[in-house]
Amino acid sequence: MDANAAIKRMMDATGTSGVSLSAAIGRDRNAVSTMFSRKSVPRVDTLAKMARFMGYRMVLERGGERIEIE
């Protein structure tokens, strides 16, 4: 799953609007909509901030090792 699909899935699951998500990351109210329409990928720190706002955590896993991105 790519980053934009993951964001959309989290938004759908939590009922989060693009406007509220844009505000949560400190961007213009149309930032999330523009990201989807331009198919641009957010930076990792922005994606982590979006995930946290919607109650998710970004975790990298390898074997038994887990690294959470804040």
State the greatest distance between any 2 C-alpha atoms of the chain, in Å, as a whole number: 40
Q: Residue 66 pairs with which residues in a beta bridge?
A: 61
Residue 12's domain is classified under what CATH number? Answer: 1.10.260
Q: What is the pLDDT of residue 25?
A: 93
Q: Which domain does 39 fall in, by range?
A: 3-69
59 φ, ψ (degrees, to nearest 5): -130, 135
Phi, psi (5° rounding) for residue 43?
Answer: -65, 160
Note the pLDDT of residue 7: 95
Find residue 58's DSSP bridge partners.
69
Q: How far apart are CA 62 and CA 8, in angstroms?
A: 25
Reading the chain (70 residues) residue by residue, the pLDDT tens digits are 899 999 999 999 999 999 999 999 999 988 999 998 998 989 999 999 999 999 999 999 999 999 999 8
> What's the number of domains the chain is made of?
1
Give the predicted TM-score (pTM) of the model.
0.87
Predicted local distance difference test score (pLDDT) of residue 39: 87
